[in-house]
Amino acid sequence: MEIEWLKFTVAPELREQFVQKDAEIWTMALSRYPGFLNKEVWISPDHLSELVLVVHWQSFEQWQAIPKAELARIEAEFQAAMGDTYQLVEAGRYQVRKRYQGQSG
C-alpha cells in the first residue's frame, strides 16, 4: 500500500470549506481511479491553519497512472472553488510497513 501525504495551510475560517470542497472535487475525482482505497483528513486542534490529507493507494503504479492533464484539471476546479486561500507546504510518499490492531472489547 502506498500513502500520499499532503500538508496544507489554509485560513482557519476557511478550513471547513476546504475540507468540504476537497471531498466534493478531489476525493470524488480520485475515487474513480483504480487503486484508490480511501482518504483521511487530519485537522490539528492546536494549529487551526494546518490540514493534512492522507490518501491510501493500492500501488504506486496505479497512483501514478492518473493522467497529469486530469490532475491539472481537478486542481483548476479546486482552485476556482477556493481561490488563493490555501498552500501546499509539504508532500510525501510512504509505504505501510506494518499495521497494528488494538484489541476490541
CATH number at residue 81: 3.30.70.100
In this prediction, residue 53 has a pLDDT band, given cuts at 50, 70 and 90, of very high
Stretch 76-102: mean pLDDT: 94
pLDDT at site 103: 85
pLDDT at 44: 93
**What does pTM read for this prediction?**
0.91
pLDDT band at 7 (very low <50, low <70, confident <90, very high): very high
Is the model's pLDDT at 43 over the cut of 60?
yes
State how far the Cα of 8 lies from the Cα of 1, in Å rounded to an integer: 23
Would 35 be classed as within a structural domain? yes
Domain tally for the chain? 1
The answer to whether residue 98 scores a pLDDT higher than 90 is no
Q: How confident is the model at residue 105 (pLDDT cuts 50, 70, 90)?
A: low
pLDDT > 60? residue 72: yes
Find the domain containing 78 and state its range: 2-95
Domain assignment of residue 20, yes or no: yes
Evaluate whether residue 103 is within a structural domain.
no
Average confidence (pLDDT) over 79-89 = 96
